[in-house]
């Protein structure tokens, strides 16, 4: 049976301690952190204790690129304290990249350089996609291609964002292969539904063929971490419960 992780950003609008109690009680084994949780290093020990009390480990985390690039000692401090195994750049650092004005080639080079101290420390280092990274650039490559050319830079594949970008995600899984070390498990609601949740759906309740996607990820990639995520749930307890119940059947 697959042990699932839970992206705590999904529950950013709820109390953290109550969220950890909720997801631990539902049978999640891991959680994935996000930037706001690392703002106060003095709170890291309390977070670790809260995780342990609920039978959870924070094995992966999203860390803003500015922090990864410019505050290496800080990142290495909290990753070590929490026993983290991987850090992922969650998104491009400025709005320019999201509106077609950013220099993706430059950012890809900076990501590859930023990865070095974390790789040296034994961490997995990767990038988490949205939909901005797939447009073909003037040289014929996509931003995603550029980023993954960096030595040691892996991919946390947000499959649903790939679908929203118009990608054939099964072909992408074939192509990326061993570059994929983690995946976000979320779903897209049928057209016109879940408007109050930005069109996202709990895993297994939307239009994506998750059994086929999960089988491909397990067979063709290095993916070991499957992270439940919803960008804007109206009820995080419902999302967490339904998603793990459905995913266990994939």
Query: Could you tell me the pTM of the whole model?
Result: 0.97
Question: What is the three-state SS of 206-247?
Answer: CCCCHHHHHHHHHHHCCCCEEEECCCCCCCHHHHHHHHHHHH
| pLDDT higher than threshold 80 for residue 249 | yes
CATH class of 4-247: alpha beta
Strand 4-7 and strand 180-185: the pairing is: unpaired
| Overall size of the chain counted in residues | 250
| Domain spans of the chain, in order of start | 4-247
pLDDT bracket for residue 81 (50, 70, 90): very high
For the ranges 51-65, 70-84, 130-144, 220-234, which has the lowest average pLDDT?
130-144
Q: pLDDT-derived band of residue 141, with 50, 70 and 90 as boundaries?
A: confident
Q: Dig out the tokens for 146 from the structure.
A: 């550029």
Average pLDDT over residues 212-220: 97
Is 80 exceeded by the pLDDT of residue 1? no
What pLDDT digit, counting tens, does each position of 30-75 carry? Answer: 999 999 999 999 999 999 999 999 999 999 999 999 999 999 999 9
When pLDDT is cut at 50, 70 and 90, the band that residue 77 belongs to is very high
Tokens coding 160? 């649903």
């Amino acid at each position: 049976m697959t042990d699932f992780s839970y992206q705590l950003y999904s529950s950013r609008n709820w109390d953290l301690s109550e969220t950890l109690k909720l997801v631990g009680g539902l049978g999640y084994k891991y959680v994935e952190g996000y930037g706001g949780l690392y703002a106060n290093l003095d709170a890291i020990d309390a977070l670790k204790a809260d995780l342990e009390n609920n039978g959870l480990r924070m094995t992966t985390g999203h860390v803003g690129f500015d922090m990864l690039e410019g505050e290496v000692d800080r990142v290495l401090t909290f990753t070590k304290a929490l026993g983290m195994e991987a850090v992922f750049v969650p998104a491009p650092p400025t709005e320019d990249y999201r509106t077609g004005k950013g220099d993706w080639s430059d950012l890809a080079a900076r990501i590859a350089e930023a990865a070095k101290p974390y790789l040296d420390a034994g961490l997995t280092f990767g990038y988490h996609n949205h939909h901005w990274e797939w447009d073909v650039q003037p040289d014929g490559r996509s931003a995603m291609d550029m980023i993954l050319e960096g030595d040691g830079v892996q991919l946390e594949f947000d499959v649903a964002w790939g679908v929203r970008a118009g990608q054939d995600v099964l072909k992408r899984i074939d192509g990326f292969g061993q570059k994929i070390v983690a995946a976000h498990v979320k779903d897209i609601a049928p057209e016109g539904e879940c408007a109050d949740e930005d069109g996202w759906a709990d895993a297994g309740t939307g239009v994506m063929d998750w059994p086929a996607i999960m089988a491909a990820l397990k067979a063709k990639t290095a993916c070991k971490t499957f992270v439940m995520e919803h960008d804007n749930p109206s009820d995080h307890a419902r999302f967490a419960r339904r998603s793990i119940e459905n995913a266990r059947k994939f």
